[in-house]
Structure 1
Amino acid sequence: MYVAVSGAIAAQKRLDSIANNIANVNTAGFKSDKLVFESYLAKSEREGEPGAPVKGKGAAALRQAEFVVATESYADYTVGSIRETGSPYDIAIAGNGFLSVMTYEGERFTRAGNLSKNEDGALVSSQGYPVLDETNRLIYVNDKYVTIDKEGSVWLTNNEEFQEYSDYAGKIKIVEFLKPENLVKEGNGLYRSDNPAEGFAARDTRVIQGSLESSNVNIIREMTAMIQNQRITESYTKVIQTSDQMTGTLLSNLGRP
């Protein structure tokens, strides 16, 4: 029964992850979540941790049981497909870089390039967080026409059909990380780096104006995984129900002649 309970809990965590991926299938720059599952005994033996003492009948069998545990969650940083939108404030990041934005909690990083300008004329993310330039300052675009080149430099002009760039507004800060798997996913497409030394100015990343990176969620794969997970959950539930019934029968027969 305990094995089934641990399996049911793990299946629920997997379902939560799948549901979140499906909910963000149309979210620009979203990176799907993956879960890693391990057996409890295998984990304990590898880390040299003694298991909890088990006494009484069935102890030997219980020691051999492997309890399923979700050990970690990580983001799949595979680049999503790039689609054209035509909006001058939309940018797709081709490569492994992240945009830098300033939140109330400090600097954060995102792949979501659906930008806009706020009432002060500053370039902001879809959540309204200011986009930083290479000197960690805000980029002001005011009411002018915006052109963003492949390096992330922002140029402004008063004429939509311009021949030459008129004003330089700044260069969008794009950061790559030595170990992106160490980034902490905070929600709303934001990531936190607890080790600034791992970040550096992007070298292998280019910016595509008028386009967005789509979510990298594979909807067919996620729906298939959801169906499989539901079947697994049903199996664990049946085991738990059967165990409950057997326990109830055993208790009802106690004390009978």
Structure 2
Amino acid sequence: MDNSAYVALSLSSVTRRSMEVVANNLANSNTAGFKGERAMFEEYLHKQPEGEDVSFVLDKGSYLDTSQGMLQHTGNPLNVAIEGNGWMAYQDNNGVTMFGRDGRMTLDSQGNLVTLQGKQVLDAGGAPIALPPEAGSDITISKDGMISDAQGNNLAQLGVFDVPDIQGYQRIGGGMFTVPEELGQPNLVPEMNTKLVQGFVEGSNVQPIVELTRMMSIQKSYERASKLSEGHNELRKNVISRLGRPA
């Protein structure tokens, strides 16, 4: 396999990865609190002893776009939108802690504050939140996450945490992340510069038009890689055909 084939292969590989990232972004353009993913690539220049150097494309992974999503008004007192860099924390039935920015909450039959998927919402100390049945939905949530009833009694405080290692966390769907095993248990450090807005949710920061534009650009790159590969194959066939002819 000569250099042109390797170049085509490297380009095909990164375009496939790019398409996966863009497709996932588009699929979550309406997911509350979702943060888009961006693929990263790098040029590798292979120096030749003779002739021109050859440039390859290398997949360097991806990173999380943590930019703020638009706030959408719902009027639901159990909805909160996050403004700032903080993350809410949740816990599933197995005790696994996860992080996200989906502030759509509800009360289950036991009075636990949970996400729409049934995951328990954690307070500022990292414990699940349970509200008294009489509180119902007649509650107030302040900018710092303090939950108060109609009489002004403080019931709990929503946890909003600083997660500096979020780029290395594992996506588990629905805009949520878990800590990889190699990083151990998460350290729940409050994020003091983030505020919550009651009656709103943060929308996805994915811009569908931008992602569609990226998708078209990726498609063109893939077509170029395919043509390069087809040209290499055709050239090889011609060489083999000529070599097989009788002298």
Aligned residue among 171, 180, 186 for 1:185: 171
- Structure 2, unaligned stretches of length 5 or more? none
SS at match of 1:67: strand
Q: Aligned-pair distance for 1:249?
A: 2.3
1:209 counterpart letter in structure 2: Q
2:173 counterpart letter in structure 1: G
- Structure 1, unaligned stretches of length 5 or more? 46-57, 158-163
1:29–1:216 contact (8 Å) kept in structure 2: yes
Aligned residue among 131, 136, 141 for 2:121: 131
1:207 aligns with 2:211: no
Instruction: Give the length in aligned residue pairs.
Output: 235
Tell me the distance in 2 between the aligned counterparts of 1:199 and 1:38. Answer: 34
Comparing 175-184 and 210-219, the one that deviates more:
175-184
1:2 aligns with 2:2: no
Cα pair distance change 1:83/1:151, threshold 3 Å: same
Spell out the pairing of 1:131-210 with structure 2 (5 A cutoff).
131-141=121-131, 142=133, 144=136, 145-157=138-150, 164-166=151-153, 168-193=154-179, 194=183, 199-210=188-199
Tell me the distance in 1 between the aligned counterparts of 2:106 and 2:50. Answer: 63
Question: Which runs of 4 or more aligned residues in structure 1 lie more than 6 Å from their structure 2 counterparts after TM superposition?
Answer: none
1:249 aligns with 2:238: yes
Alignment correspondent of 2:22: 18
Comparing 120-129 and 63-72, the one that deviates more:
63-72
1:178–1:198 contact (8 Å) kept in structure 2: no
SS at match of 2:55: coil
Cα pair distance change 1:5/1:105, threshold 3 Å: farther
Q: Percent identity, aligned pairs only?
A: 30
2:31–2:174 contact (8 Å) kept in structure 1: no
Comparing 102-111 and 212-221, the one that deviates more:
102-111
TM-score, scaled relative to structure 2: 0.86
Comparing 214-223 and 196-205, the one that deviates more:
196-205
Spell out the pairing of 1:76-87 with structure 2 (5 A cutoff).
76-87=65-76
Q: Aligned-pair distance for 1:59?
A: 8.0
1:219 aligns with 2:208: yes
2:17 counterpart letter in structure 1: K
1:241 counterpart letter in structure 2: E
1:31–1:75 contact (8 Å) kept in structure 2: yes
Alignment correspondent of 1:31: 35
Alignment correspondent of 1:160: none
Cα pair distance change 1:156/1:9, threshold 3 Å: same
1:179–1:198 contact (8 Å) kept in structure 2: no
SS at match of 1:40: strand
2:162–2:188 contact (8 Å) kept in structure 1: yes
User: 1:97-122 CA distances to partner (integer Å, 9 max, x unpaired)?
Assistant: 10011133621111111112223221
2:148 counterpart letter in structure 1: W
